[in-house]
Structure 1
């Protein structure tokens, strides 16, 4: 069996073969920064990872010998900012901690940083990491605040973007410095630590009400978009993130399954949690349905496959919706449906559901049992989401909803005039 350079096989106790990347001792004595690493038992994954590690080794070896290191986007010059971000992207800190759905945002942010031009006209990405001093970091932060690209940001600053880019630089510098300390300034290895950020006013997320959600949902059903209707209702009632709903994480098998006929299971892909929301409860005076109108909307949804939200292509074919496409549909529909505000979005539906939890005066534990937020900060500490707590929280939210509806139907009270000679305060 032909193996990549520096890869050795080892027979495990149970008979399986595992692979390890092992840098020869003579290079270790020369302070080779590429670490030994277990590569697992999967041959294909081992080949891929070994190639990455050998590329790193070759770069270091060529730089050590004073030979030119091949440049370009695929192989940036060793020791540069471009190189640093490439090393960060193949590190465990990135591959294991950054979710795949977030990586395109990280790529965009890295490009924003590396493509900034210096006064001499060269890219920051081509500069050596050692040359980025704390003063340079402060100046780059000012550049981060400036708008780039087609969107005009006249007299405005990208404060949130600036925060994100500084945070990314701080993280990438810390991760790569640990692996390649010789490529960094010994006195100030991380120039991004301590950069003073401008204070920004955090924009409050818009929230929509129950009436607005269902006005939109029924309007969307009438317009022939039951997928948009169901997504809005799922985000509001069961608090699933809209991108997770559209990505197919809400499945028909999670709704009134034979093993749990009175439950809808909501998987929160971002946090890896699952919330079993009770749909009904048998009471002495009959069956109480907690989400009757929501289930009416779901009944309008055609079953096109395993995920609930699929786009009907006709002739028995379907495909997943693209999140941005469904958002465009929502934006068009909200302009045509009465009772739907201009700030109506799928994200505002989820935020509206969270707001309703607060208005129902649920405890932090009850609210987080429904929303699956892990911290009190995220849901204004981690509470165990037991079935008892889920049911208690759902009851309380349902009772709040009934009370609100009853109050809305009551006529305004008319104060009776006080009898002559008797003041109202006497009572």
Structure 2
């Protein structure tokens, strides 16, 4: 996908096939994808899959079974990624599935080859145990979330393809029944001070637009992947029709919120808005790359995480201070402010109380507020009892 700046200042996106593919007979040459990054990327992903199909079987899907890797792990994964089950997934989920299955296929074997080269029948329960160990980073590895997620996806993909090609698979699913390690504890929320310190560090690292993400996650509670994917646009920020609001999109749940920014001229997020005012509006999405190596465009999630990690370490901030931790910190601050669950959900975009509760961590501030209210209740109760007893005594003396 290519990005080009138009005379109007907008960035337009285009999809181009390689000249080598066109010379070999691929029929699609170029397609204009519009100016909305998220829409353009979804369409580009579809076109890339079509090109992949053509490269493997010259546009004929059944020829996938005659490819040289037929019956291998690579073939199994490719077949799943072209299945109706995969197509039914949400667009935001598909890249994760591709990435996690790619991790599995790229693991090295003892013979120096890739797991993707192995026959599907070679994936036994004992092999899965070794794959799981490698995914988590060794016997003492701590990448448990990544490893568990990969195993879950592989288990689903196995069921889908095994049903249509039973002759190539063992009778049982080797990913079922795996003894897995669970992550200990929950995500530690970033404090307000840590969120702003992370923003300062990223800004100083040469990525001012990316530096806005920790603050948007903390203050406006938007998911970091949504900000990075271009779902926070300048056209959403104080638009003419709603000058006191910003539109926050939660693509995971499909919820859109017009988040209030002020009341009676008093701003709710002056620090964040002051930083936004310092940014140059380089594209429709607020958060875009500096444009050092090409045009300004939204960050990939992996690239953004790398920049944040490097900036955090350069600034000497704790390792738990991530973009995700900033959103957890903002949600926890709502709990510290003693908002009701309805109030929390109205700002965060969660659809159920259970989903919101996982983000609002228990803190000393909340415990202090609870103890203060309890003491006030006890004092009021004791006062009522005292009044009741003394009142009865005065009536008897009269």
Interval of TM-score (by shorter of Structure 1 and Structure 2): 0.5 to 0.7
Of 301, 304, 325, the match for 2:279: 301
CA distance in 2, matches of 1:251, 1:347: 20
Query: What corresponds to 1:57 in structure 2?
Result: 62
Query: What corresponds to 1:379 in structure 2?
Result: 356
CA distance in 1, matches of 2:126, 2:151: 12
CA distance in 2, matches of 1:122, 1:221: 42
CA distance in 2, matches of 1:158, 1:214: 27
Contact 1:163-1:197 within 8 A present in 2 as well: no
CA distance in 2, matches of 1:47, 1:202: 42
Q: CA deviation at 1:155?
A: 4.2
Query: What corresponds to 1:204 in structure 2?
Result: 186
Q: CA deviation at 1:212?
A: 2.8
Q: CA deviation at 1:123?
A: 6.9
CA distance in 2, matches of 1:169, 1:365: 37
> Counterparts of 1:11-410 in structure 2 under 5 Å?
55-58=60-63, 69-71=66-68, 76-77=69-70, 79-97=71-89, 99-112=93-106, 116=109, 125=116, 129=120, 131=121, 137-147=124-134, 153=138, 155-156=140-141, 159-184=144-169, 188-193=171-176, 195-217=177-199, 225-282=207-264, 287-313=265-291, 318-321=296-299, 323-331=301-309, 333-334=311-312, 341=318, 343-380=320-357
Question: Which whole-Å deviations, capped at 9, do the CAs of 1:78-106 have from their partners, x for residues lacking one?
Answer: x4443322210111222331634324423
Task: Specify every segment of 5 or more residues in structure 1 that has no aligned partner in the other structure, as ranges.
Answer: 1-43, 61-68, 381-399, 405-427
Seen in structure 2, the aligned counterparts of structure 1 residues 180 and 361 have a Cα distance that, compared at 3 Å, is farther
Match of 1:264, SS state, is: strand
Question: Which whole-Å deviations, capped at 9, do the CAs of 1:151-200 have from their partners, x for residues lacking one?
Answer: 97464475444423432232112111333345445xx353433x142342
Provide TM-score, normalisation by structure 2: 0.63
Query: What corresponds to 2:4 in structure 1?
Result: none
Seen in structure 2, the aligned counterparts of structure 1 residues 302 and 175 have a Cα distance that, compared at 3 Å, is same
Q: Larger helix proportion, structure 1 or 2? A: 2
Seen in structure 2, the aligned counterparts of structure 1 residues 320 and 154 have a Cα distance that, compared at 3 Å, is same
CA distance in 1, matches of 2:98, 2:308: 24
Question: Which whole-Å deviations, capped at 9, do the CAs of 1:269-307 have from their partners, x for residues lacking one?
Answer: 33333222111234xxxx442222221221122222212
Seen in structure 2, the aligned counterparts of structure 1 residues 374 and 179 have a Cα distance that, compared at 3 Å, is farther
Seen in structure 2, the aligned counterparts of structure 1 residues 263 and 47 have a Cα distance that, compared at 3 Å, is closer
Contact 1:244-1:269 within 8 A present in 2 as well: yes
Contact 1:216-1:334 within 8 A present in 2 as well: yes
CA distance in 2, matches of 1:176, 1:371: 38
Seen in structure 2, the aligned counterparts of structure 1 residues 364 and 228 have a Cα distance that, compared at 3 Å, is same
Provide TM-score, normalisation by structure 1: 0.59
Contact 2:257-2:347 within 8 A present in 1 as well: yes
RMSD between superposed Cα atoms in Å = 4.1
Seen in structure 2, the aligned counterparts of structure 1 residues 190 and 249 have a Cα distance that, compared at 3 Å, is same
Question: Which whole-Å deviations, capped at 9, do the CAs of 1:196-248 have from their partners, x for residues lacking one?
Answer: 42342334223211133234546766787532442221111112222332332
Task: Specify every segment of 5 or more residues in structure 2 that has no aligned partner in the other structure, as ranges.
Answer: 1-46, 358-364, 370-398
Seen in structure 2, the aligned counterparts of structure 1 residues 290 and 86 have a Cα distance that, compared at 3 Å, is same
Query: What corresponds to 2:387 in structure 1?
Result: none
Aligned pair count reads 309
Structure with max Cα Rg: 1
Seen in structure 2, the aligned counterparts of structure 1 residues 274 and 50 have a Cα distance that, compared at 3 Å, is same
CA distance in 2, matches of 1:128, 1:174: 16
